[in-house]
Structure formats: structure tokens, C-alpha cells
């Protein structure tokens, strides 16, 4: 069952989102370094990390579970992006771009979950 996670579309998109978030958070206020910046970065990195880890597991059940964690981490990151936008740390255009990419990641994870759903 293990597969090369770099070939999974959901991972590729999540990796792009993590990269984009890291770039944007470089401009967050320095007093947020150990607050929202760190929390957002951890959440967004968790998405591709869990997809990668799950894809290397030996069972569909484990893979599915890791992908549901990735989906949860994406939701957490989306809220934190929303908050950063409300606080004025992200401009409207930046936020819209990140949200659009997050939508694509969410759709890809949804598709992946459907494809790997364990038989019950």
C-alpha cells in the first residue's frame, strides 16, 4: 500500500499552500512570531505532513485516518487565515488567493478520502 506521496495531488496542493503561507507570514508583525504566525505555520504544515505519513502506512484505515487529520488541520489553518485577514495581516488579494488554494486543497482531500475509504 505505501506510495510516493509526492505524486498525490492533494499533497502537491497542500505543499503549495504551506509554501505560500510561509511566504505571507514572513510579513506578519514580529510580536506574532510565537503566536498566530507559529500556529498558522504548524497547522498548514500538518496538512501535507499527514498526507505523506498516511500514504506510507500499511493499511487503508490508517491512511484514511491520517487524511482526516489533514482535513482537520486545513480547517484550523483556514480559520487562522481568516483571523489574520481580519487583523489586517493579510491584504484582501493575499487572503483571496490563499482561500482559493485552500478550497482546492480541501476538494483534493475530499476526493482522496473518497478514493481510500476503508471497506466496512
Given this model, what pLDDT does residue 1 score? 55
Whether pTM > 0.85 for this model: the answer is yes
pLDDT over threshold 80, residue 120: no
Given this model, what pLDDT does residue 58 score? 81
Segment 78-83 shows an average pLDDT of 98
Given this model, what pLDDT does residue 86 score? 98
Contact 54, 1 (CB under 8 A): no
88: left (phi over 0), alpha (psi -120 to 50) or beta: left
- In tens, the pLDDT along 15-59 reads 999 999 999 999 999 999 999 999 999 999 999 999 999 999 989
Taking alpha carbons only, the member of 81, 20, 8, 79 closest to residue 49 is 8
User: Which long-range CB contacts under 8 A does 86-93 form with residues at least 24 apart?
Assistant: 87/36, 89/27, 89/28, 89/29, 89/32, 89/36, 90/24
CA distance 62 to 103: 24
Given this model, what pLDDT does residue 118 score? 80
Given this model, what pLDDT does residue 110 score? 98
Given this model, what pLDDT does residue 119 score? 76
CATH classification (class only), 5-116: mainly alpha
Given this model, what pLDDT does residue 2 score? 63
Amino acid at each position: 500500500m505505501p506510495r510516493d506521496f509526492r505524486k498525490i495531488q492533494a499533497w502537491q496542493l497542500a505543499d503549495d499552500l504551506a509554501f505560500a503561507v510561509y511566504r505571507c507570514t514572513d510579513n506578519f508583525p514580529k510580536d506574532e512570531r510565537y503566536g498566530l504566525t507559529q500556529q498558522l505555520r504548524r497547522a498548514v504544515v500538518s496538512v501535507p505532513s499527514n498526507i505523506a505519513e498516511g500514504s506510507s502506512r500499511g493499511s487503508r484505515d490508517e491512511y484514511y485516518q491520517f487524511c482526516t487529520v489533514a482535513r482537520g488541520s486545513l480547517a484550523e489553518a483556514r480559520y487562522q487565515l481568516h483571523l489574520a485577514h481580519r487583523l489586517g495581516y493579510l491584504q484582501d488579494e493575499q487572503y483571496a488567493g490563499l482561500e482559493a488554494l485552500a478550497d482546492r486543497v480541501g476538494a483534493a482531500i475530499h476526493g482522496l478520502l473518497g478514493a481510500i475509504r476503508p471497506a466496512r
